[in-house]
Amino acid sequence: MINYDPKSWWGLIFKFHKSDTFRRLLPAMTTVAMFTGAVAYVDRDLLPEGLRGTNLVHSLLGFVISLLLVFRTNTAYERWWEGRRQWGALVNISRNLALKCNAYLRLGHPSRPVIAKHIAGYAVILHDHLRGPGKPESRPGGTHGPNLIANSLIREIDRLHRGGDLSGVQYLNLNAELTAMTDICGACERIKKTPIPYSYSLFIKKFIFVYIVTMPFCFVHEFGYWTILFTTFVFFVLASLELIAEEIEDPFGDDANDLPTEELAKTIGANVSAILLRKWEMVSSDSPKHAASEPTASAL
């Protein structure tokens, strides 16, 4: 993911980032421009009468194509945002697991580093799992990485319960988080493996293609060589929307707009080790300094 300042207008307008659709569409736009130019030349200089033009159909259907592209934009964005929410949920349950285990297990308990390792490892392996080439299922060795770690973690917690280190109530309190791990993994796999239905993808691309290809024939009579500018600009807008939607739709790749899953996995690792592996111990249970000082004082 690219960090940027959404409020800097000039920077965004004139910077042509390598993920910018303008750069990526340049070859196609050149082709469209040359094609339109050829149509205009034939119409103007070769045919005695020229083509009979009208913008009626493009106006009528311009509406449909706009609505379709916004529908496409919406669904792509929703997947991207759902992917983000799932990883946000992973951060939350990782923290909650760590916070609860920190409260439940005495300092220095030998399971603390094991649990910390598993929680942090889950995020890392899920990141790998979702970027893996091809279908996530088919990995060498046939093991499903996230399931492997979830398995270890659930067994560890259950062992603690049987051994008496976790009471029944404490075990119940942990159940939702343990279950959520696999739910998050499944949701990410679902987003990754299920693009928008084939028919829509096919239809939208065909529609854009026919719309752009027929445009010069309808407009060249009225606007002559100006049609080159018109057609190219309209093509840029329509194709950009489809291109961005394609990129956003699978938010777990290496594209410029994809989610910062690696960074999130690191955040989880740092948070979990801070909570479970000593760092806070002196501070938190006895003298929550920051919390105790002015803010709460002013609030109560």
Give the footprint of a copy of itself on residues 235-254 (CB under 8 A): 237-238, 240-241, 244, 246-249
Selection from 98, 90, 138 nearest residue 116 by Cα: 98
Q: Which of 42, 128, 131, 165 binds a copy of itself (CB under 8 A)?
A: 128
Of the two residues 41 and 81, which places its CB atom closer to a copy of itself in the complex?
A: 81
What SS3 class is residue 102? helix
Distance of alpha carbon 90 from alpha carbon 82, whole angstroms: 12
Binding mask 175-204 for a copy of itself (x = CB under 8 A): xxx-x--xx-xxx-xx---xxxxxxxxxx-
Per the structure block, which two tokens stand in for 229?
């500018």
Distance of alpha carbon 58 from alpha carbon 35, whole angstroms: 18
Site for a copy of itself in 20-39 (CB under 8 A): 20-22
Write down the least CB distance from residue 55 to a copy of itself, Å.
6
Q: How far separated are the first and last CA of the chain, in Å rounded?
A: 41
Distance of alpha carbon 74 from alpha carbon 84, whole angstroms: 15
Task: Give the C-alpha distances (Å, rounded to integers) separating 11 from 6, 14, 22, 233.
Answer: 10, 6, 15, 21
Of the two residues 42 and 277, which places its CB atom closer to a copy of itself in the complex?
A: 277
Q: Is residue 257 a contact residue for a copy of itself (CB under 8 A)?
A: yes
Which of these segments, 30-38, 39-47, 120-128, binds a copy of itself (CB under 8 A)?
Answer: 120-128
Which of these segments, 29-37, 41-49, 54-62, binds a copy of itself (CB under 8 A)?
Answer: 54-62
Which of these segments, 29-37, 40-48, 77-85, binds a copy of itself (CB under 8 A)?
Answer: 77-85
Of the two residues 42 and 200, which places its CB atom closer to a copy of itself in the complex?
A: 200
Indicate if the alpha-carbon torsion angle 241, 245, 248, 253 is positive or negative: negative
Q: Which of 123, 130, 220, 228 binds a copy of itself (CB under 8 A)?
A: 123
C-alpha triplet 4, 71, 9: angle, nearest 5°: 25
Write down the least CB distance from residue 13 to a copy of itself, Å.
5
